[in-house]
Chains A and B, each alone.
Chain A
Amino acid sequence: MVYTDATVPENGIIWRVKGQLELRCYPESTDAIKKSISQTFETLRSQMKSESLVFTVCDSSVVIWPNKDVYSPHGEVSSNTLCEELQRWIKCFHYLFVYSLCVIFVCVGLCEHTYMYLCVCACMYVNVCMHACTFMCVCMFVVINLCLMKEVSRPGPLPVPTLTRTLQSGHALLTTLPMDCVIRSTAHQPIGVACNHLLDALTSQLSEMEKAALQNMKGTTLLVPEPYHFLLPEPRGLVTIVYPAGVPDSQLESHRKELHGRFDLPEDRPYFRKPNAFRFPDQVHKDGYLRNPHQVLTHPSLDNGKLYLVQGVYSYHHYMQDRMEDNGWGCAYRSLQTVCSWFQQQGYAERPVPSHREIQQALVDMGDKQASFVGSRQWIGSIEVAAVLDQLLGITSKIMFVSQGCELASKGRELANHFLTEGTPVMIGGGVLAHTILGVAWSETTGQIRYLILDPHYTGAEDLQVISDKGWCGWKGPDFWDQTAYYNLCLPQRPRIF
């Protein structure tokens, strides 16, 4: 069994530069718009060579003029400074471990000035036969954030400003381009080299933005091109794709098809949908839900056993959230919400996680329940969960039935296969309780099994410490189940789309 631990076989640094570039052009006529925009982009590209272009390193006092080979603080930082030395100037380190397609954050306070966000990085993501443990290796990346700026102070004296007026009917277009480039470097590279790569990345991002802007222009309306970063299986790593703003994923299918082809990726799972975009450590989820609480747990070790876990990111939904007092009756609804959150965050569904009311309404709309069901406190089971997934998200599910709880111990192979091929959370209902199964640890030889359970009956706050310590998300044995009750499991199937 492979544990997640902090040994680091390889160091890498991710440089991310963000900034706003003004796009301003004055086409003479509506026919000349595209030509005018192209010319403007050409000017912007040439600005990337300007001596007044500046990178400021966030959370530090380091300022770089990459085209002038000037560094501040003068004398202490130069183009030959190694990337790893630059880290010493930064007050707050962002370490990044990435586990398959999801990113989790655990705050480990190392010293008062350093915050480490630990995640597990799967360097190799094996496609269908994912033996997550066998090929997992831990990689640590430091993220250095930079701001793109322009220096406006000059050695004077210089001519005083003149006001130049051109009165001529024409057109004007003014917008800002949200530049966002990422490059990777090793710790031992000099920062001068990294800066040059960043400039190249900025220049090529401008070209991609130009392409996206022109392709998606409708008459006089320009859709602002936006960069998205996606983490692809190694050795690709992070790639940046430019999408036009405001266009939903459903309309970008041909673009994604071309991308899957270009990067040699299978077309049965999404890599380039907007929700798949990589989350950097400083991008905190603002909705308040915990993501993947199971990743702080120590996973069990069984003789000849393997781990089969949910793939990707889900949110923990439980009792009493969203000011909904469903204590005692809403457990299956919460489990369903967790499942929905998984589909939404992997990019399979655009609609947000449904509320209790919306779930009930969906069942009424399908004819499964009477109208009075909406607003009631009635329980639902796995069958209803499967039905709602189909109705609201277009997801089909397999239902597994065990007539007695003790039979669940023999379902190791099925569950392992489910997590390998589908990787979706499983909703299990039986007796009077509903839970979510996030994975199993199973030994093919001994038949030993453990279940990773996410319990929707928790009524407290989003406190990761409490949730993991008290077992609200935790590993359970076969005796967790009511041995005589019957259980239905809803195994949602991952759509084979991209």
Chain B
Amino acid sequence: MGRGYMVEEAVERYLSSLCSSSPLTGLLLGQSSAQRDFVVMATRTPQREACPLTPSPRDTLDMEWINEHARQVSRMLPGGLSVLGVFYISDAEAKDTLITLRQLVFAVQKSISRDLLWLSGDDDISERVTLHVNSTTRKTFCRTFDVRDPKSTAKPADWRYQSGVCGSWPMVWSCVEVEIPVSLPPRGARPGDLETSLQEGLKLWAQQIERGTFLLDGRKISEDTELTGPTVCPGEQVSQVGASGGRVVLRGAVHTRAYLHGNKPTARLAEKALKRDLLSTVALRLNMVLEELMETQERDRLSLPTRVMCPLRGLGVGVCDYRFSDEGPLEVLDRLKEILDLEVRQEDLDHTQEEEAVTVETQPAPNEGVQRSELQAAVVPPLKPQGRSYIGAAMATVMALLAAAASLLYLDD
């Protein structure tokens, strides 16, 4: 008895359409739950420009490119959605491709998990699916591997197409204030220090988020949400005033979003998915500007790219992208096409969830002024934070009653 995959019908049509361009690899996207897995989308690995058109199956699978594509795809997925596995379309016999598929799925998983700010927990599903589609017969061959076990063998899995797989998936979202002050080591230190300090600051902030209390619709749902009592952090007794070469402060707000599978989702799932999305969206945006930050010593203010949401028609879930202030919506559409193989209309893009950063004002000149205002701002300490989330389309409680009315939105401010 293996895992059961409920796959959106559109994926079947998509994979069929790809058969003419075989051999091809790609990724399967969706959400796993304890009982079953849901595949909502598939996306092919785009052609690398300098590559020949028809590489033979085993020798020239461009692993590096596939991994890079996987990382980029992963970044465009809001909370709850992730890369569930890989597909491979070729005219070879299914059983001959097992080794390749195995190699693929492990590599992709490794590449994606490198960027994560959290460790996968025991309740995370570690099975990933590999699908082989024979380009001539259209026959599918589905197996799963446990990516936590390097010695795992292929297990059979059930691959079933269905319409409306994610039609009634509840969505949770929130606008979360982010404040991460980071102290830099004294001047003259190694160049990698900025990055290290930022990573450390991010990690501390991530720990605070994970310990934070989660409210759904303004209420704390006690049964499945883990209550964080006064956490006893091994308290330090003595603190030193250390020399510092300056500081970097990340301040603003982000829109976080997660989709929950429709099969009795719990408050716990909502919390986990939304918190992880929050950590990812901040971390990866920070990485996107890090290079620029390290290179240009003159720039004192850098804003992170804004998140553009892209609900997918007919599906019930959506994806997202990040747009720098000097980019327009067309660049976003281009990326959605290239990376996710999606044709999206400009009017479908949702730019409204986040605002552009405030424009830089005049440089503060007197030292006193700088210090005091920086001090004020930098010292507002984040306590254990909470996220208040509103459920858009449906209400998810511990017992997962699905109510359709949007009037369940809780607005109190």
Residues on A facing B (Cβ under 8 Å)? 18-28, 30, 33, 36, 39-40, 43-44, 47, 54, 56, 58-63, 70, 72-74, 91, 145, 147-176, 178, 220-224, 226, 245-246
Contact = CB atoms under 8 A, between A and B. Distances in A.
B235 A24 contact: no
Contact of B240 (A56, A58, A161, A222): A222
Given A56-B213, A153-B175, A157-B175, 18 more contacts: A19-B383, A21-B381, A22-B381, A27-B241, A39-B375, A40-B375, A147-B384, A156-B175, A156-B253, A156-B354, A157-B353, A161-B252, A162-B357, A163-B293, A166-B374, A168-B246, A173-B240, A221-B240
A61 B285 contact: no
B300 interface: yes
B274 to A, nearest CB: 10
Contacts of A169: 186-187, 243-246
A149 B386 contact: yes
Nearest to B377: A164
Contacts of A224: 235-239
B385 A150 contact: yes
Given A161-B252, A173-B241, A224-B235, A153 B389 contact: yes
A61 B371 contact: no
B357 A159 contact: yes
Contacts of B386: 54, 56, 63, 149-153
A167 B303 contact: no
Interface in B201-258: 212-213, 215, 218-222, 227-231, 233, 235-255
Nearest to A152: B385
A165 B388 CA distance: 30
B304 interface: yes
Contacts of A145: 229-230
8 cross-chain pairs, A with B, having the tightest CB-CB distances, nearest first: A156-B175, A161-B252, A22-B381, A158-B253, A245-B237, A172-B244, A152-B385, A175-B239
Nearest to A58: B229
A25 B239 contact: no
A226 B358 CA distance: 40
A28 B371 contact: yes
A73 B381 CA distance: 27
B253 A161 contact: yes
Contact of A157 (B181, B218, B255, B412): B255
A40 B222 CA distance: 35
Contacts of A178: 235
B89 interface: no
28 contacts: A19-B384, A21-B383, A25-B375, A26-B244, A26-B374, A72-B219, A74-B219, A91-B222, A145-B229, A150-B383, A156-B354, A158-B175, A161-B304, A162-B251, A162-B252, A162-B304, A163-B286, A165-B300, A165-B302, A166-B246, A166-B370, A171-B241, A221-B238, A221-B241, A222-B239, A222-B241, A224-B239, A245-B235
Contacts of B315: none
Contact of B219 (A27, A44, A73, A170): A73
Given A152-B386, A245-B235, A160 B240 contact: no
B220 A26 contact: no
A25 B247 CA distance: 11
B160 interface: no
Contacts of A36: 375
A157 B355 contact: yes
Most buried by A among B184, B389, B410: B184
A160 B250 CA distance: 10
Contacts of A62: 220
A61 B300 contact: no
Interface string B288-308: 010001000101111111110
A161 B283 CA distance: 12
Contacts of B356: 159-160
Given A147-B228, A169-B187, A164 B248 contact: yes
B249 to A, nearest CB: 5
A477 B127 CA distance: 71
B222 A161 contact: no
B359 to A, nearest CB: 10
B55 interface: no
Most buried by B among A162, A163, A169, A246: A163
A21 B227 CA distance: 19
Contacts of B382: 22, 150, 152
A158 B352 CA distance: 10
B168 interface: no
Contacts of A56: 213, 220, 386
A164 B385 CA distance: 22
B378 A149 contact: no
User: What DSSP secondary structure best describes chain B's contact surface?
Assistant: mixed
A164 B251 contact: yes
A27 B413 CA distance: 37
A70 B378 CA distance: 27
A153 B387 contact: yes
Contacts of A152: 176-178, 212, 382, 385-387
Contacts of B357: 159-162
B371 A171 contact: no
Given A158-B355, A172-B241, A43 B219 contact: no
Nearest to B242: A172
A44 B381 CA distance: 8
A164 B300 contact: yes
B376 to A, nearest CB: 6
B272 to A, nearest CB: 16
Contacts of B199: none
Contact of A72 (B215, B233, B372, B384): B215
B1 interface: no
A158 B239 contact: no
A162 B246 CA distance: 16
B300 A166 contact: yes
A70 B355 contact: no
Nearest to B411: A155
A61 B412 CA distance: 17
Contact of B250 (A21, A44, A161): A161
A152 B302 CA distance: 22
Nearest to A175: B239
Nearest to A220: B241
B273 interface: no
B378 A26 contact: yes
B381 A23 contact: yes
Given A165-B293, A221-B240, A160 B175 contact: no
B238 A223 contact: yes
A430 to B, nearest CB: 47
Nearest to B249: A164
B384 A150 contact: yes
A172 B247 contact: yes
Contacts of B215: 63, 72
Nearest to A43: B379
A16 to B, nearest CB: 9
B177 A154 contact: yes
Contact of A164 (B239, B301, B353, B383): B301
Given A148-B383, A163-B248, A245-B238, A157 B354 contact: yes
Contacts of B187: 167, 169
Contact of A147 (B230, B300, B371): B230
Contact of B354 (A148, A158, A174, A220): A158
Contacts of A73: 219
A165 B235 contact: no
A164 B239 CA distance: 26
B239 to A, nearest CB: 4
Contacts of B242: 171-173, 220
A163 B177 contact: no
Contact of A149 (B221, B245, B383): B383
